[in-house]
Amino acid sequence: MAIIELKNLWKEYGSEVVLERLNARVEAGEFITIVGASGCGKTTFLKMLLGTENPTRGELLLDGKAIPEEPDATRGIVFQRYSVLPHLTAERNVMLAGELAANRYTGHAFGARRQELKASAQVMLEDVGLGHAINKYPHELSGGMQQRLALAQALIKKPRILLLDEPFGALDPGIRKDMHALVIKLWREQQLTVFMITHDLDEGFYLGTRLWVFDKDRLDPQAPGAYGARITYDLPVGKDDHGTLEDIATRVDSTARVLG
């Protein structure tokens, strides 16, 4: 069964149509990159997956049921900024999900449970390459390190779906390559379903298994809001062709090794 299904999905704000007639099925384990011009509803679509925006027409299904209308632990997210909590150290940021689960009133864990969370947070931080920055606050980390931390924080909760809203938009190109390698690695390890918005068309082709282009195929210059955006391209990127994916992965790996 498809993990996510879009059935004639519409999103309108008043008379302005943002998205119209979206139909798609996404299987578990797919890595979908979404590209498109600004204002084409990419972020609105991600917000619908997240649950902070609701479809005006049609259905958005998670495992065949309507997707919950508020954010919850099934869908993790990394934003471009503000993803990590500034008042917690890296380790505490990663421990947070476990602490919240440990006690529903205090949101803190104690004793053996705490030690366990600490240990697994350390493993996770090592995994994303932040082993040396365990006790640092986010403001002491660079932009790329903050995004690594955000990934670690989201993934330790083991969400089934990971949403990435231009997570590397603010990073330098070199660091971006590192982050691509990291995301691919985590996606494989945790068998995630990933939706990633990007401005960078190369990134869209380069990462993932499937590329969606959001665009308005009917555009009235006098009334740009009259028609909504649709998925105009739905391309497999190396999905059917395992060699391409391997190829991409090798290239990402070797780039990562070069950049250290």
Partner 1 sequence: MKKLINQQPGVVSRWALGLLPFVLIAVVYTLSSNARLAENPNDKLLPAPSHMLESMTRMAFEPSKRTGELLLWQDTGASLERLAIGVGLAALTGLVFGIANGAIPLLRAGFSPVVTGISLVPPMAILPILFITFGLEELAKIMLIFIGITPFLIRDLQQRTMEIPEEQIIKMQTLGANTWQIIVRLILPQIMPRLITAVRLSLGSAWLFLIAAEAIAATEGLGYRIFLVRRYLSMDVILPYVMWITLLAFLLDFCLNRYSHWRYPWFHDRSL
Instruction: Note whether 139 binds partner 1 by CB under 8 A.
Output: yes
Give the DSSP letter of residue 196. E
- Closest alpha carbon to 155 in 94, 203, 207: 94
Between 61 and 85, name the residue whose CB sits nearer to partner 1: 85
Between 100 and 245, name the residue whose CB sits nearer to partner 1: 100
Q: How far is the CB of 154 from partner 1 (least distance, A)?
A: 7
Instruction: Look at residue 8 and give its three-state secondary structure.
Output: strand
Q: How far is the CB of 255 from partner 1 (least distance, A)?
A: 29
Between 26 and 152, name the residue whose CB sits nearer to partner 1: 152
DSSP characters over 29-96: T-EEEEEE-TTSSHHHHHHHHHTSS--SEEEEEETTEEPPSS--TTEEEE-SSS-S-TTS-HHHHHHH
Instruction: Note whether 61 binds partner 1 by CB under 8 A.
Output: no
Q: How many residues bind partner 1 (CB under 8 A)?
A: 34
Q: How far is the CB of 47 from partner 1 (least distance, A)?
A: 9
Instruction: Note whether 138 binds partner 1 by CB under 8 A.
Output: yes
Between 24 and 100, name the residue whose CB sits nearer to partner 1: 100
Structure tokens at 28: 């578990």
Do 26 and 32 form a contact (C-beta atoms < 8 A)?
yes
Structure tokens at 219: 């555009």
Instruction: Note whether 99 binds partner 1 by CB under 8 A.
Output: yes
Do 236 and 242 form a contact (C-beta atoms < 8 A)?
no
What is the tally of helices (H) and strands (E) in the chain?
7, 10
How far is Cα 184 from Cα 20, in angstroms, rounded to an integer? Answer: 31
Applying CB under 8 A, the span of 22-30, 103-111, 170-178, 223-231 interacting with partner 1 comes to 103-111
Binding mask 167-186 toward partner 1 (x if CB under 8 A, else -) reads --------------------
Instruction: Note whether 105 binds partner 1 by CB under 8 A.
Output: yes
- Closest alpha carbon to 78 in 2, 5, 187: 187
Instruction: Note whether 50 binds partner 1 by CB under 8 A.
Output: yes
Binding mask 63-92 toward partner 1 (x if CB under 8 A, else -) reads -------xxxx-xxx-x-xxxxxxx-----
Interface residues with partner 1 (CB under 8 A) are: 50, 52, 70-73, 75-77, 79, 81-87, 96-97, 99-101, 104-107, 137-140, 153-154, 157, 159
